[in-house]
Amino acid sequence: MWEHVELFDISKDLVPGGVHSPVRSFKGLKSTPRFIESAEGAYLQDVEKKTYIDFCMSFGPLILGHKDEDVKEEAMCALNKGWTYGACEPYSLELAEFIVDNISFIEQIRFVNSGTEAVMTAIRLARAHTERDKIIKFNGCYHGHTDSMLIKAGSGVQNISETSSKGIPQSIANDTIVFELGDEEQIKTYMKKHGKEVAAIIIEPLPANCGLLPQKKEFLTFLREETTKYNALLIFDEVITGFRVAFGGMSAKLGIIPDLVTYGKIIGGGFPVGAVAGPKKIMLNLAPVGNVYQAGTLSANPVAMVAGLKTLQKLEPSAYDQLSKYSANITTILNQWLQKYQNGRYKMFSIVREDSLFWITPKENITRACDIPSDLSEEFSPLFESMLAHGIYLAPSAYEIGFISLAHNNSVCNQLSKRLWNN
């Protein structure tokens, strides 16, 4: 039987940092990354045969839980026919039609392989459609690792930006403007001076990549008004929130229509996927009909398409009602345990929940990344280790959120209570 330490030593020899995505490395934590062997429902099993109640859920795609039987059946059927063609196929049309028919402001959709690709394409579309270069984004919103989105505000001056990763030219940073979430006055001032240079404002309407930072509807409405006023585009990054907080994501929940929306995660049913969608007048800029180039060998992979369609078909209104009940039960149990067992050690933490998303947060009502305590990671580490010892798997970072699925049913709630209170 393999052990985690042994596998991680091998992995570090073969892979930079031992991982294929940085957050999996358990950086800043005492534990060795868990090597997962299998999963089912709400549970993971590692190579040492220990089981965990999973609240990472592959960082969001698995709204039905691991290895949902209906999704599995569709995926296996697709595999039996062939798993990539490099040609036109009917499966993406079925998923595209289902999405277009059920989300009123979407007329066309282009499938890609990841959320990063979706955002990259949306930004390129916005620049081509407006014939402008500048993009406004917000501190605390993550839009994948495309160069123009790995930018932070520099020197406290909002119209001077710096790269947040090595390998990105300063010339790219200069066209990405970063503001704090909710800062209407700074945005208004900037747009008054530079609005005709701005191609788009991009935002997670519910920021969920640097903690969970819910925004006021009034702020998002303000962004819609500002972009309309200056003929810029509003891009909603709904890679996490799309089909999770509601079938139509935050756009539908708030009644605010963006010009472009990016999706990922849930629309692939657990397989690699991303998408950019919007009205024809913008989407038809894409090649082969337009002059904005985008391509992908594995885009609209047939296995991801059928898995995504089956997942979305199962998301009836009653499913969201059930998911809300499970989420309320789960977070109540976690909150009760945190309050009883903090004893000074976990005094910072409580649970903040938005639908089936939750964050173990140092204080309530945080809506901006700049307000997150600087010692968050240090304080989170012993809590994470304690949860892990109880057989509960959280995302291994203080800044990552938790995900609840339809597999986190009453039986799982009971098991969660037992693991927390009996150990």
Q: What residues make up the domain containing 361?
A: 4-67+317-422
Domain finish residue from 270, 296, 313: 313
Point out the catalytic residue in the list 43, 142, 320, 326. Answer: 142
Q: Residue 237's domain is classified under what CATH number? A: 3.40.640.10
Point out the catalytic residue in the list 134, 265, 310, 320. Answer: 265
Please give the distance of CA 153 from its chain centroid, rounded to a whole number: 22
Q: Is residue 265 annotated as part of the catalytic site, yes or no? A: yes
What counts of helices (H) and strands (E) characterise the chain?
13, 16
Q: Is residue 12 annotated as part of the catalytic site, yes or no? A: no
Point out the catalytic residue in the list 46, 54, 68, 237. Answer: 237
Q: Are residues 106 and 162 both part of a single domain?
A: yes
Q: Are residues 56 and 180 both part of a single domain?
A: no
Q: Are residues 170 and 308 both part of a single domain?
A: yes
Q: Residue 21's domain is classified under what CATH number? A: 3.90.1150.10
Q: Are residues 263 and 395 both part of a single domain?
A: no
Which pLDDT belongs to residue 155? 40
**C-alpha pair distances (Å), 347 with each of 143, 191, 383:** 32, 42, 11
As a whole number of Å, the end-to-end CA separation of the chain is: 26
Q: Is residue 91 annotated as part of the catalytic site, yes or no? A: no
Q: Are residues 164 and 206 both part of a single domain?
A: yes
- Rounded Cα–Cα distance for residues 373 and 381 (Å): 14
Is the CA virtual torsion 328, 334, 335, 336 positive or negative? Answer: positive
- Rounded Cα–Cα distance for residues 324 and 333 (Å): 14
Q: Are residues 55 and 139 both part of a single domain?
A: no
- Note the pTM of the prediction, 2 decimals: 0.95
Element at 225 (helix H, strand E): helix 217-229
- Rounded Cα–Cα distance for residues 20 and 109 (Å): 28
From first to last of its 423 residues, what are the pLDDT tens digits of the chain? 788 899 999 999 999 999 999 989 899 888 899 999 999 999 999 999 999 999 999 999 999 999 999 999 999 999 999 999 999 999 999 999 999 999 999 999 999 999 999 999 999 999 999 999 999 999 999 998 887 888 775 444 444 566 788 888 887 888 999 999 999 999 999 999 999 999 999 999 999 999 999 999 999 999 999 999 999 999 999 999 999 999 999 999 999 999 999 999 999 999 999 999 999 999 999 999 999 999 999 999 999 999 999 999 999 999 999 999 999 999 999 999 998 877 666 667 889 999 999 999 887 789 999 999 988 998 899 999 999 999 999 999 999 999 999 999 999 999 999 999 886
Domain finish residue from 257, 287, 313: 313
- Rounded Cα–Cα distance for residues 66 and 54 (Å): 9
Domain finish residue from 313, 332, 352: 313
Q: For the chain, give the number of residues.
A: 423
Relative orientation angle of helices 217-229 and 184-194, to the nearest 10 degrees? 10
Number of structural domains found in the chain: 2
